[in-house]
Amino acid sequence: MAKYGMIVDITKCTGCYNCFLTCRDEFAGNEYPGYSAAQPITGMNWIRLIERERGQYPVVKVAYIPVTCMQCEDAPCIKVAQEKAVYERSDGIIIIDPVKAKGQKQIVSGCPYRVIEWNEEKQLPQKCTFCAHMLDQGEKVPRCVESCPTDALIFGDLDDPESEISKLLASGATEVLHPEFGMKEKVRYISLPKKFIAGTVIYGDVDEVAVGLTVKLSSNGDSLSTKTNGFGDFEFEGLADNIDYNLVIEAPGYKSRSIKVKTMKDVSLGEIVLKK
Amino acid sequence: MAEQVYTQCTVGGPVKVYVENGVIKRMRPIIFDDNDKGGWTIEAKGKKFSDPRRTTLNPYVVGERMRVYSENRIKYPYRRKNFNPNGERHPELRGKDEYVRISWDEALDIVAGEIKRIRETYGPAAITAMASSHHNWGLLYYKMGPYPRFYNILGYTELLDNPDSWEGWHWGAIHAWGYYWKLGHSDNFDILGDALQNTEQVMFWSVDPNTSAGGYCAQDTTIWRHWLRELGIQRVFIDPYCNATAAHVGEKWIALRPGTDAAMAEAIAYVWINEGTYDKWFVENRTVGFEQFKAHIVGEDDGIPRTPHWAARICDVPAHTITALAREWAAKKTMLACGAMYGTGGACRSAYATEWARLMVLLIAMQGLGKPGVNIWGGVGMGAPLDFNFNMPGYASAGWDAFATVAKHPAFPDRNTVTQKVYRILLPEAILNPPIHWHGEGFCGQYFDQNLKPMTYPEPGPNGAEIKMIHRHGGSFISTMTDTSRWVRMYQSPKLEFVVMQDCHWQSETRFGDVILPASTNFEHMDLSEWTAAGGYGHGNAGTNHRVMIFQHKCIDPLWESKPDWQIYRALADRLGFLEEYDEGNSEEEWMRKIFDYSDLPKHISYEDFKKKGYFVVPLPDDYKPTVSNRWFYEGRPCDTPDPLNPNLGTDRSHLLATYSGKIEFVSESLTKFDDNDKERPPLPRYIPSWEGYNTRKLTKKYPLQMITPHVRFSYHTHHDNKNIWLEDIPQHRIKKDGYSWWPVRIHPLDAEKRDICHGDIVKVYNDRGAVLGIAFVTERIRPGTIHSYQAGAKYDPLEPGNPGSIDKGGCMNLLTPSRLISKNAPGMANNSCLVEVCKWEV
């Protein structure tokens, strides 16, 4: 028996919304008795995309973070449901019974990820089912996974050590979106955006970019270093939130620069001009 | 009834269509099975890259069933209430009139009657007709099939397309490197493999394949941009906007002012010349005119050396960054990603865009076009290993009669007795204020000088006539053509006696019709096609991982009273007495069978099997050898790419390009011959300040912001917006507020703050041409001083319907763009040379 999970690779998500639109295509106006009632023809978002713009002009990145039911092993929606209206199948998929759950609005607010939505017309809480109705027919992946053009959504059997998803899990590269909820989510992420500090170093006297110059970043107990590239740009990525850093740039013959930066947000320092 | 699964195709990818009880329930991409071939693996830098074993879909066709069943479908034939073909026509009410439902017989009788009357009164040249791209898909029964065959047999004034998406390449680059049969952009044979193996850096110059490659090619190549990152190939984006691809894989964003790209290009050349970091051998052996170019760049001709400091003031990019860009480019094997169908970032649709496109060719020439890892790579969206020798007509292979390859009597090019032509981008002027003059016969792919041919409408002499009737077949010029209130005024002119709108949906232009004919979508009839293939001028330009032939099954019956276009034109041909010539007695499927037999499909699969399976993936021959574009030219040997339209093949010039000299021309010999005194497109290209740019003082006082309107991401032109309502839940497409779905206007925080505009405010974007409302999207992704708003919003929603000067609420930004063309001899659109102001709109 398989145990299904999913990994979302943020580096591959381009914000194309195929997953979102495909989910609508599968469920809007289409019911699957025993699995899910039909979504209304529009308005529900069983998978949604968070768009996060990072940095300041002209050093800007965008991360797209798909969010859907995390298929938690320790699911709060199961706990707040009455009459066992929400349950976990043996393959790990969490289902809201489309008959038993009627009227149970508290199931919606039971989810801290807010991935359960209220179908007003049917008076039902609804969420992603990992397309269980399709998997039970022998299909290999949910429709969102099928529609993703870059394979940013990786679906598979957590109980099979040879599956791609298991190997990725074992590599330690994945994390949960909100670890503080402690719900043992079976949907995990690779490369969730952290914070970056970036800048461009210029030799002020000759007005040229500084190529190959070492830039150091330090905080309490952390010491990083990188080199500027052919554009004079440097970047420190994957930094933690709200840390006080000290950035130091030294070049022979120039006054060294020391800049304090706090990662309350991604910081594009712009041009740092070295003077003699 | 049990579920049935059909195969179909769209502009955004082929689909499997699931039908239950006669209703389309869902559509999915095609996942290949073990029998499908066409697989390839490229080995590069110790890694292997293989084709994904499936097709992809572009987002706007994922919910295609919503478009098929949209409430915006035209359900019945209509006659405009105040239009009486036998009495008062009231053209001034077009755009603000009501519609009366009529029967098909009545509708077709009016149309046929008007065609007869106008021909008899004014001559056949008084009728024109035009289709758009791409409200449907299919080789035979869609764009180049029913209406052009009908009108070519009947005789009509051909409405020539301007090369809308890649203007500067067509009117400019042809004069640098030839490739006129590709309409100015290069081919991209086997460039993917070359790039993965040899390239160290890609310059994405005014190109956004994540947005625009999807038109035709879905998202097949998105993964390629990810492969570049995997291989550590540096990715630089030059664009006023941090576009969707830059946001995905960009490492460096150089945000220059719109319209100043040619200046940056000249400065790059300056650095290379000054530092000697260009391919001197290539320049000496494969180009002409370099000495004159060099003298110009260093300032010997006009005393202005094109230094990075000179360009910095123009582009508003620091000189040290421009210098670094030039040095990085020269130091690494670099692909220049621009041009091709994906030259849609904006720089090629601006004032004097010819100069930028020509300079792109010249820059890559200075680094050795065609040597390993160095080429022009159309948007990083073409160049997979594909067998282009497999014969299947693309939709443009036979020109304006898709049946011509197999018809007993082709209707193109010779059947049309009318020689008069009119030009799409100048149509309002042609109707309202003739005569008009321009150069070039639309898509000038037949011979080199075709883009220089002087044209006049009306045609002088007895065969010319002013146009009295327009038959519009799908789509909307409102929101895609520049200064589109001109179309409103045009339609309201009494000079147009009769207007027919034939479409599947109510588009922005539909309500200007006198008679409206409801057409079915391609899901409601059968057809066949190749995914993405234009054929003809688009030969060899497949931007997908496979060549896939599709048998387009009929999935459902025509909805409401709609009819397939083919049936509409058959009915008209019948009333006009030429049905037998029109369909040659063949049924729909008989024509399809002829195309099948004509193609190479029978060598691989029977008709019955093709029909049953619904698709065929073209295999790669076992002995497939990559032939990289322009490598033959670099190496000085005959062209070996599968490019059958290359006129030099089989001649003693087969190792040369199609320019006059056969080489890349720093000084264009064709332009020297044509008009060596043309200051707007001189033989030697250069930056020319825009007539509506950052420095146009007489305008910037009132309208200080530049606006760019690149191709829309979540619609194909106007064909998906306002039809598939799910798109309105994508914030980068439309944002709901106060019960309306607004079109985003992207503005930098500094510009927003000056104007007291917050993210989510309704704003008015305006200039002397008009005013459009949108919703402010405050973002760091656009440079200060510039506004970004996609073009092709499909909801023309004037606050005062029928008033051409009304404010539009729906987001048709092209109401604001200039009708002035790229330059006096280059009649291309310049959408991105546009000055506006923005203010909060509080109503």
Reported as a single tens digit per residue, the pLDDT across A218-242 is: 999 889 999 999 999 999 999 999 9
Residues of chain B falling short of pLDDT 70: 1, 340-345
With CA atoms as reference, the chain B residue closest to A205 would be: B320
Given this model, what pLDDT does residue B753 score? Answer: 98
- Whole-number Å distance between alpha carbons of B356 and B205: 10
Given this model, what pLDDT does residue B462 score? Answer: 92
The answer to whether the Cβ–Cβ distance between A58 and B726 falls below 8 Å is: no
The answer to whether the Cβ–Cβ distance between B62 and A22 falls below 8 Å is: yes
Q: What is the DSSP letter of B733?
A: T
A23: three-class secondary structure by DSSP = helix
The answer to whether the Cβ–Cβ distance between A14 and B255 falls below 8 Å is: no
Q: Is the pLDDT of residue A146 over 80?
A: yes
Contacts of B804 (CB under 8 A, 6+ apart): B485, B488, B489, B492
The answer to whether the Cβ–Cβ distance between A51 and B732 falls below 8 Å is: yes
Q: What is the DSSP letter of A200?
A: E
Kindly list the residues from chain A whose CB atom is less than 8 angstroms away from the CB atom of residue B328: 230-231
Contacts of B585 (CB under 8 A, 6+ apart): none
Q: Which residues face B27 on adjacent strands?
A: B17
C-alpha Rg value of chain A to the nearest Å: 23
Q: From the candidates B27, B50, B729, which should be mutated to test the interface with A, based on the most A CB atoms within 10 A? A: B729
ipTM > 0.90 (yes/no): yes
Given this model, what pLDDT does residue B209 score? Answer: 92
Q: Which residues face B336 on adjacent strands?
A: B203, B376
A249: three-class secondary structure by DSSP = strand
Q: Which residues face B548 on adjacent strands?
A: B617
The answer to whether the Cβ–Cβ distance between B219 and A59 falls below 8 Å is: no
Give percent of chain A above pLDDT 90: 99
Q: What is the DSSP letter of B343?
A: -
Nearest by CB: A18 against B57, B779, B783: B57
Given this model, what pLDDT does residue B1 score? Answer: 58
Q: Which helix (H) or strand (E) holds A245?
A: strand A244-249
Q: Which helix (H) or strand (E) holds B412?
A: none
Q: Check: pTM over 0.90? Answer yes or no.
A: yes
If interface means Cβ-Cβ distance under 8 Å, which residues of chain A face chain B?
A: 11-12, 14-18, 20-22, 24-26, 28, 30, 42-43, 45, 51, 53, 55-62, 143, 146-147, 149-151, 200, 202, 207-209, 211, 230-233, 271
Kindly list the residues from chain A whose CB atom is less than 8 angstroms away from the CB atom of residue B220: 149
Task: Report the amino acid identity of residue B447.
Answer: Y
Nearest by CB: B255 against A21, A58, A232: A58
Q: What is the mean pLDDT of residues A81-102?
A: 97
Nearest by CB: B63 against A25, A62, A207: A25
- Whole-number Å distance between alpha carbons of B595 and B407: 10
The answer to whether the Cβ–Cβ distance between A149 and B223 falls below 8 Å is: yes
- φ, ψ of residue B108 to 5 degrees: the values are -70, -35
Given this model, what pLDDT does residue B343 score? Answer: 56
Nearest by CB: B780 against A21, A60, A151: A60
Q: Residue B422, exposed/middle/buried by CB under 10 A (0-12, 13-18, 19+)?
A: buried
In B45-174 the beta strands, taken as DSSP E runs, fall at: 47-50, 78-80, 99-101, 127-131, 157-160
Kindly list the residues from chain B whose CB atom is less than 8 angstroms away from the CB atom of residue A151: 52, 223
Please give the interface size between A and B, counted as residue pairs whose CB atoms are below 8 Å apart.
Answer: 127
Given this model, what pLDDT does residue B379 score? Answer: 79
Q: What is the mean pLDDT of residues A165-193?
A: 97
Question: Which residue from A99, A139, A138, A141 is spatially nearest to A122, judged by alpha carbons?
Answer: A99
Q: Helices marked H in B640-779 — which ranges?
A: 669-675, 697-700, 749-754
The answer to whether the Cβ–Cβ distance between B253 and A146 falls below 8 Å is: no
Q: What is the DSSP letter of B482?
A: T
The answer to whether the Cβ–Cβ distance between B63 and A271 falls below 8 Å is: no
Given this model, what pLDDT does residue B345 score? Answer: 64
Nearest by CB: A51 against B65, B219, B731: B731
With CA atoms as reference, the chain A residue closest to B321 would be: A231
The C-alpha of B111 sits at a distance from chain A's nearest C-alpha, in angstroms, of: 37
Q: Helices marked H in B645-797 — which ranges?
A: 669-675, 697-700, 749-754
With CA atoms as reference, the chain A residue closest to B63 would be: A25
A186: three-class secondary structure by DSSP = coil
Question: Which residue from B684, B562, B785 is spatially nearest to B295, judged by alpha carbons?
Answer: B684
Given this model, what pLDDT does residue B255 score? Answer: 98
Contacts of B631 (CB under 8 A, 6+ apart): B194, B370, B371, B372
The C-alpha of B819 sits at a distance from chain A's nearest C-alpha, in angstroms, of: 32
Cα B408–Cα B409–Cα B412 angle in degrees, nearest 5 = 135
The answer to whether the Cβ–Cβ distance between A151 and B223 falls below 8 Å is: yes
The answer to whether the Cβ–Cβ distance between A15 and B244 falls below 8 Å is: yes
Residues of B assigned a catalytic role: 134, 164, 395
Question: Which residue from B313, B337, B309, B304 is spatially nearest to B323, judged by alpha carbons?
Answer: B309
The answer to whether the Cβ–Cβ distance between B320 and A232 falls below 8 Å is: yes
Q: Give the residue, B185 or A2, on which the prediction is more confident.
A: A2
Q: Is the pLDDT of residue A217 over 70?
A: yes
Chain B residues 690-729 with CB within 8 Å of chain A: 714, 725-726, 729
* Mean pLDDT of chain A, nearest integer: 97
The C-alpha of B726 sits at a distance from chain A's nearest C-alpha, in angstroms, of: 7
CB contact at 8 A, B476 and B797: no
